Structure 1
Amino acid sequence: MHGWDSWIAVGDSFTEGVGDKRDDTAPGGAEEYVGWADRLAEVMADQRPGFQYANLALRGKLLREIIDEQVPIAVAERPDLVTLCGGGNDIITPGTDVDDVGALFDTAVAALRAAGSEVLIFTGPDPKVQPLLRRVRGKVAIYNGHLRAIAERHGAKVVDLWSMGVLHDRRSWCDDRLHFSTEGHRRIALRAAEVLGVPVVEDWREPLPMEQRRPWLQLRQDDITWTTTHLIPWVRRQIRGESLGDGLAPKRPELRPFRADTRV
């Protein structure tokens, strides 16, 4: 058993769980996601009666929005644990200064630690396998350096996504090549559990099965499909200043016991 009684997860699409679609999403309804945080919360609830959990994360959020809208709630509630991941949407935005994003992240961790919560943060993953994200690989590496320094300065825990070899496999990413797949989220939940000292029976290091080599033509067709389905709409949103999270609300906005009817 672990020693956590309450946890608030704050962040963007990564923590909301985008890419890990619920199996019971109603046909024709809005897509609902599980994600690494909900998966880990279920494990923690099984081991700790009365365990409370909230997930305030919302897709498309910039770090400043996370700090203004979500962090104050976590500071006021003072849960045992707060997980914080943000800045990725800032980094992929052209013209963003990574040092400024790092300084902003530092203020959030400082506020959460001052409130008495344990804080768990995540480095950015190595985006080398993805054609869109690999363009900002250097910025992600610099940001990760800031995150590790922030964690050391404030006594926060770190989940190092960059070093997770299973995330270097394309199958750990979903079709939009921006978010993690169900398998990616599952592995990240296991890695976070390890860092937090939450007992689990599976190992995130377990290699993925050997992948069958795909024909060159099929790969190029996949690239075309991705360009029209995901890349062009993303560029349009960037130009218009729109976000995938516009008009949406957090899926678990209040700190409550993780009940059976809210399980993954």
Structure 2
Amino acid sequence: MPAALPAEAMARYVAIGDSFSEGLMDPGANGRFRGWTDRLAAKFSGIRTQAGLPETQYANLAIRGKLLAPIIEEQLPRALELEPTVVSLVGGGNDLLRPKSTPDRLAALLESGVQQCLQAGAAVILCTSSNAADGGLIEKTRGPNAILNSHIWSIARRYPNVFVIDQWGLAALRTWPAWAADRIHLTPTGHEVLSRGALNALGWEFVPDHERTLGPGEVPIPTDVPVWQAVPEGWAETEPTWQDDLAWVRRDFLPWVGRHLRGRSSGDRISAKRPELLSISAY
């Protein structure tokens, strides 16, 4: 395992990927989504300011609906132009919802992206899939996702300065309240759980932010247990009803099928929410 990511390496952070890294279902300021990457960048700034360093410069090029090849071919070159010190590269989930996609091919693409980042001098953050055994679209790809996860861990062991967020192992993300009504994207608290898991994967204990005001829809997360064990009160006991299942089919699943039959993507005509490096404050 690599040593902890030093505060100096948190200077310039660029996130690339799909809706997972764009931060869907975590509303932020100015009508934009926030998400785990924004939250992680803010934690980077907190670590750096405590060390007497300037705030983190952060860009986010992720766009919903993107497949892994466009992420590597289009987003990554732009990301490297920004001379990042750390890049989060997360993708492949949309690919595995398509019947002809294979985790082995995705792993090769992912490894090529990792190599490009390392050659540019940037540390890399990868992320496993969630352990989605209980419902929604992602449940249908649990097997291929598990194979891709194995590739991700192997890639991380082959190279220095590659870190893996163990989303599969975060207990809170095995509960229904961690996930938005579409059963694909995280809720605001789910994004916060993942950002803490990311920081832990980078070798840091969760940086306390007890003074942070909870945002819309957020609930407190326990801090008296390890990040991977922390489950908000009442989450483990919450289960969806058949009415929830029916609403999901009508509101989310059928429109998704329709878009894919027409060759459309939810990211059509969407541009990156934070295309340039800008300072982000700790919160």
Q: Taking structure 2 as the reference length, what is the TM-score of the superposition?
A: 0.83
d(CA) in 2 for partners of 1:167 and 1:154?
A: 28
2:63 corresponding residue in structure 1: 58
d(CA) in 2 for partners of 1:93 and 1:247?
A: 21
1:15 corresponding residue in structure 2: 21
Checking the alignment, whether the CA contact within 8 Å between 1:74 and 1:112 is kept in structure 2 is no
Give the deviation of 1:196 after TM superposition: 2.1
Give the deviation of 1:211 after TM superposition: 4.8
1:36-55, Cα deviation, whole Å (9 max, x unpaired): 01111122223332421101
1:135-171, Cα deviation, whole Å (9 max, x unpaired): 1110000010111111111221111111111110011
- Map 1:223-238 → 2, pairs under 5 A: 223-238=245-260
Give the deviation of 1:2 after TM superposition: 2.6
1:254 corresponding residue in structure 2: 276
Gaps of 5+ in 2: 1-5, 49-53, 209-222
1:128 corresponding residue in structure 2: 133
- Structure 1 residue corresponding to 2:242, chosen from 196, 220, 227: 220
d(CA) in 2 for partners of 1:249 and 1:60?
A: 12
Q: Which moved more, 1:9-18 or 1:124-133?
A: 124-133
User: Alignment identity in percent?
Assistant: 36
Give the deviation of 1:23 after TM superposition: 6.7
1:159 aligns with 2:165: yes
d(CA) in 1 for partners of 2:24 and 2:55?
A: 27
- Structure 1 residue corresponding to 2:72, chosen from 36, 46, 67: 67
d(CA) in 2 for partners of 1:151 and 1:24?
A: 36
**1:13 is matched by which residue type in structure 2?**
S
Q: Describe the SS at the equivalent of 2:140.
A: helix
Give the direction of change, closer, same or farther, for the CA distance of 1:165–1:67 in structure 2 (3 Å limit). Answer: same
Q: Taking structure 1 as the reference length, what is the TM-score of the superposition?
A: 0.89
Q: Which runs of 4+ in 1 moved over 6 A?
A: 212-215
**2:112 is matched by which residue type in structure 1?**
T
Give the deviation of 1:207 after TM superposition: 2.2
1:208 aligns with 2:258: no
**CA RMSD between the two structures:** 2.1
